Structure 1
Amino acid sequence: MFQNKNFCFSFCFLIISTLGFAQVNEYVLQFKTPLQLHRFLKYSNKSIPLISAHRGGPTTGFPENSTATFANAIRYNPTIVETDIALSKDSVLVMMHDNKLDRTTTGTGKIEKYTYKELQQFFLKDNEGNQTPYKIETLDQVLQWGKGKVIYNLDVKKGVPMKMIVDAVRRNKAEAYSVIITYNATQAAEVAQLAPDLMISVSARGKEDVERMENLGVKVDKMIAFVGTAEPKAEVYQYLNGRGIACILGTMGNIDKSAAANGDALYYKLIENGATILSSDRPVQAGKQATKFTNDKKLKSRHIKIIKR
């Protein structure tokens, strides 16, 4: 009996030790200069498909817009992190999608009613409403974390001045891994004027949209195009990709639901049809299909690396 107990203890210790020292891969995106990022994101028939983790890729235990969640996302595939920026009462840029705290934190009320220090009394909640140990972070903290790990797609919430975002990117020397999301030609022109070296995500579904922005001073080589949350016609991809503009298709919502119901191979088909980036609420599943496409086409990039932890 005593020998059996010793055997059990040794066996359990071996399992725990093995699990404790199991290696974890991190799939990282690394760029030294903004020019490297521009060249990487410019569309070509050698472009590697990527997944943009919508709101950072929240899942059970990992809340949206948190670096803990971003770290979890890059365990599965190289990731563009789409993340949301709001403004506190004392003008601190903080990571938050909603204008109210209720859904995503243990707090209540509008975020603009709280100073950053006051916001630190609350904890973030995951999508199931469970409290996590994570706090609301600042854009500075997020940009510092992301260097050498991800590309950020920065979604600027209503009322947040674009100049504050550009200043934060400059302050943290994050130009080589940051893209700023805009929703119309006027916003795109503002960012292009403030920071002509930064990549801009523009809303564009064809020649007319692109030429409108060009006329306002937005350079094509700084554009990636969000084409909507429904697959566009083939000619949209033909025009945009033909101009070297990579396309982001938003699969969050109906397309993600369709893939969950009918099979994840749908993501592969969407990439094959012309989408370079899929913005998804299912980044792990979509990422597997992006990786399959990359392997099938034998695509490579020196900017994508696997780090073992």
Structure 2
Amino acid sequence: MRKALLSFAILFFILSCVQEKPAHITSIIEELNNSESKNVLVAAHRGDWHHAPENSLQGIKNCIAMGVDIVEVDVRKTKDNQLVLMHDASIDRTTNGKGKVSDYSLQQLQEFYLKNNQGGADAALTQYKIPTLEEALLTAKGKVMLNLDKAYGLMNEIWPILQKTGTTDHIILKGGKDASQVIADLSFANKPIFYMPILSSSQENVATKIREHLEAYDPVGFEFILRKNDLVMAESDFIKTNGARVWVNTLWASLCTGHTDAKALENPDENWGWVIQKGANIIQTDYPEKLVQYLEKNGWRNF
């Protein structure tokens, strides 16, 4: 009997440790804050839309299974002021409904179904519904970060949902505002969120703007849009030594001077490898699983 009780106690202890073991989110946040780490973080554009609808809960779950670090999703507000995931202002492309998100209540939106992949006229209808932001946060909780796009002006409404779900440290917000405006808009003293300014290689005085953001608050990174040139990438080492990461999108040509996902599928070294050599240590991609595999194979991902 004593041996049985001891075995049960050991099993209970093991199960307790498993339940209390820090989730993958802990490692992701530690890496995000380690700006000079050799590890490159992977952000999935609108989730895993190759195998599920974009901006869907299943797309987030697929990304978690792949080992993705950040899932980019888009936030819209309904007629009754509920926050849902939807890229477009309308539901035409991605659901079997028609009209603007803002013309429907949440209950009305739940009558529609998401189309597979990126939607469109020929896309198959799925069993999945339009998710709320709260559902997305609960799906991501403890497992993956969410980059909330189209959300800059909604933070006063998003913040209570983050508090409710215990995910205030699970999101990344980005925007193109000047440093002083970011401070005024987001009240960092009361809302300690991860924030990244977005800067373009075609902007004038971009080096000055980088320094203004670094001096005004504590950005977790900078997103660089590489339109006509990659000159802004010369600031990468300075940014990293000052505690921020460098995010580059390889989604389409105008974001990365042509070093796109499509080209990376054929020649990853000259495309994903190129942006890494230039200084990127976060890459947003439409092919997250392949990027994770490429990084692991080349020693740019080990955590």
Cα drift, residue 93 of structure 1 = 0.4
Q: Relative to structure 1, is the Cα distance of residues 86 and 108 closer, same or farther in structure 2, using a 3 angstrom cutoff?
A: same
1:137 aligns with 2:131: yes
Deviating beyond 4 angstroms after TM superposition, the runs of 4 or more aligned structure 1 residues are none
Q: Percent identity?
A: 25
Matches within 5 A, 1:285-296: 285-293=290-298, 296=299
Cα drift, residue 300 of structure 1 = 4.1
1:263 aligns with 2:262: no
- Give structure 1 stretches of 5+ with no counterpart: 1-27, 302-309
1:275 aligns with 2:270: no
Partners of 1:47 and 1:177 in 2: CA distance: 22
1:72 aligns with 2:66: no
Q: Deviations over 1:178-200 (max 9, x none)?
A: 11222322663222436442110
1:30 aligns with 2:18: no
1:228 aligns with 2:222: no
Partners of 1:155 and 1:275 in 2: CA distance: 20
2:101 maps to amino acid = I
Partners of 2:56 and 2:125 in 1: CA distance: 13
223-232 or 138-147, which deviates more: 223-232
- Conserved 8 A contact 1:56-1:70: yes
> Which SS does the other structure have where 1:279 is aligned?
strand
Partner of 2:245: 246
Q: Relative to structure 1, is the Cα distance of residues 144 and 289 closer, same or farther in structure 2, using a 3 angstrom cutoff?
A: same
Partners of 2:127 and 2:150 in 1: CA distance: 25
Cα drift, residue 241 of structure 1 = 1.8
- Conserved 8 A contact 1:191-1:200: no
Cα drift, residue 202 of structure 1 = 1.4
Partner of 1:184: 177
Partners of 1:177 and 1:263 in 2: CA distance: 33
> Which SS does the other structure have where 2:95 is aligned?
coil
- Conserved 8 A contact 2:222-2:244: yes
90-99 or 65-74, which deviates more: 65-74
Partners of 2:103 and 2:192 in 1: CA distance: 34
Q: Relative to structure 1, is the Cα distance of residues 253 and 236 closer, same or farther in structure 2, using a 3 angstrom cutoff?
A: same
The counterpart of 2:141, out of the listed 132, 140, 147, is 147
1:139 maps to amino acid = L
What is the TM-score of this pair, normalised by structure 1?
0.76
Partner of 1:209: 209
- Conserved 8 A contact 1:83-1:154: yes
Cα drift, residue 116 of structure 1 = 0.2
Partners of 1:100 and 1:278 in 2: CA distance: 28
- Conserved 8 A contact 2:214-2:242: no
Structure of greater relative contact order (alpha carbons < 8 Å, 6+ residues apart): 1
1:244 maps to amino acid = G
1:137 maps to amino acid = P
Partners of 2:268 and 2:291 in 1: CA distance: 7
2:92 maps to amino acid = D
1:284 aligns with 2:292: no
1:174 maps to amino acid = T
Partner of 1:9: none
Partner of 1:237: 236
Q: Relative to structure 1, is the Cα distance of residues 175 and 64 closer, same or farther in structure 2, using a 3 angstrom cutoff?
A: same
- Give structure 2 stretches of 5+ with no counterpart: 1-22, 201-205, 254-259
2:145 maps to amino acid = I
149-158 or 245-254, which deviates more: 149-158
Cα drift, residue 156 of structure 1 = 2.6
1:83 aligns with 2:83: no
What is the TM-score of this pair, normalised by structure 2?
0.78
97-106 or 127-136, which deviates more: 127-136
Partners of 1:140 and 1:292 in 2: CA distance: 35
1:232 maps to amino acid = D
Partners of 1:235 and 1:181 in 2: CA distance: 21
Length, aligned pairs only? 261
Q: Relative to structure 1, is the Cα distance of residues 253 and 90 closer, same or farther in structure 2, using a 3 angstrom cutoff?
A: same
Partner of 2:7: none
Partner of 2:109: 119
Partners of 2:38 and 2:62 in 1: CA distance: 25
Partners of 2:90 and 2:221 in 1: CA distance: 30
Partners of 2:174 and 2:128 in 1: CA distance: 25
Partners of 2:287 and 2:226 in 1: CA distance: 14
